[in-house]
Structure 1
């Protein structure tokens, strides 16, 4: 099989699979569930939907950039697009098997950038630890700023 055909199939097959899964999900829903879905879509405010799409995309882009940035001190300079696509592939894998996406991210960068899996996975663990520290800091700040409400809740 020539490379052009492989490239086309790598694009078309996932796209067709996605379309099929959406169609299957919609058709396996009851008429009541479908009506509720349509009603909720019509009720959604386009401003908030658009804002959430923009912020979500920026979040993923910044996460891919952060991962690329974390790999550079190790002597690797992955392309941004490969970091981003590895991240997205990881999210997709997590939908099927939770936490499998982290392994897939490291394996994807091994395939496309020849970065050893253990180094890629090490940066993923570091990234998770940084996320945890930030989350705990935000929770601590919220508890400090809202001490009265927190004490009332537990009283």
Structure 2
């Protein structure tokens, strides 16, 4: 990647961090009782973050395993060290709208002879499944685990049928008759469907479910530090609802929207305003900002040449649907 491109990436990261600082300062200023806020902060220790951070790291690990499985289904397998650092580098730009900046890893994977179409298809699969899982877990706020499971099955079936319909409706060769942008989108969808066979799809779903569930549990642990007026399923539902609102807002990283949603939803279930604000900000520090920090470290390692692009092992090409 050219130095100019890397400098642009670093500028984007710096601007996003600055945006976060401004938004968080504003949210703290909304506190109705600064003395109570200071008292709550004084009872908080860094040791209290150990479990939420551990759960976030577990979430990242599960999502990385899912990423490797998707690439494998698409016909590529990289050395695990390179694959891991390329994957984590995308976290540096996880605060872009729709996490689209995470596709920066495609530039690095291209050096390992993984086509951009393949890595983008893997990204589309990831984001689609994440939105479904997070959206379904959000229903725990007002529903039961059984209802969430039913909604999840229906949503997954709908997505699968939609993908199959698109692939069958537009067989190979029809792209030439479509506008360029639509042609590329269709090509990515068709390529992604190669990795969405029932057995591997079940694996992606399970990994994604436990990845986001672990972050939801981490959120519950943080809220429980400041308030007893919360149940674990409610906390998971609130966390995922906040993430979902932030994602569909298309605001970089959902900054401000996600935190505001988390705080508002917590107050609706009986958590006082200061506890809600602190819980929202701290939880985002243990998830979003932790991911950005890890991504920056991975990106710095790549820039400094600590990883050597290695050719991927090309597996047996997946059969078309």
Tell me, in whole angstroms, the C-alpha distance in 2 between the residues paired with 1:122 and 1:107. Answer: 12
| Deviating more after overlay: 39-48 vs 99-108 | 39-48
SS at match of 2:230: coil
- Which blocks of at least 5 consecutive residues in structure 1 are unaligned? 1-6
Q: 1:75 to 1:116 in 2, by over 3 A?
A: closer
Query: Per the alignment, do residues 130 and 147 of structure 1 end up closer, same or farther by CA in structure 2, a change over 3 Å counting?
Result: same
| Residue equivalent to 2:279 | 123
Per-residue deviation, residues 86-110 of structure 1 (Å, max 9, x unmatched): 1221122123323212211221121
- Work out whether 1:52 is the aligned partner of 2:204: yes
Find the residue that maps to 2:305 and give its secondary structure. helix
- The CA RMSD over aligned residues, in Å, is 4.0
The higher-RCO structure (CA 8 Å, 6+ apart) is 2
For the residue of structure 2 that corresponds to 1:149, the secondary structure is coil
Q: Residue 247 of structure 2 aligns with which residue?
A: 95
**TM-score relative to the length of structure 1:** 0.59
CA contact (8 A) 1:68 1:77 kept: no
Structure 2 CA distance for aligned equivalents of residues 39 and 118 of structure 1: 48
Alignment equivalent of 2:190, drawn from 23, 39, 59: 39
**Gaps (5+ residues) in structure 2?**
1-142, 176-181, 310-321
Separation of aligned partners in 2, 1:135 and 1:92? 19
Structure 1 residue 105 corresponds to structure 2 residue 243: no
TM-score (norm 2): 0.32
Q: How many residues align?
A: 130
Measure, in 2, the Cα distance between the counterparts of 1:38 and 1:124. Answer: 35
CA distance in 2, matches of 1:137, 1:94: 21
Partner of 1:3: none
Indicate how the Cα distance of structure 1 residues 108 and 75 shifts in structure 2: closer, same or farther if over 3 A, else same: closer
Deviation at 1:83? 0.9
1:4 alignment partner in structure 2: none
State the partner residue of 1:72. Answer: 224
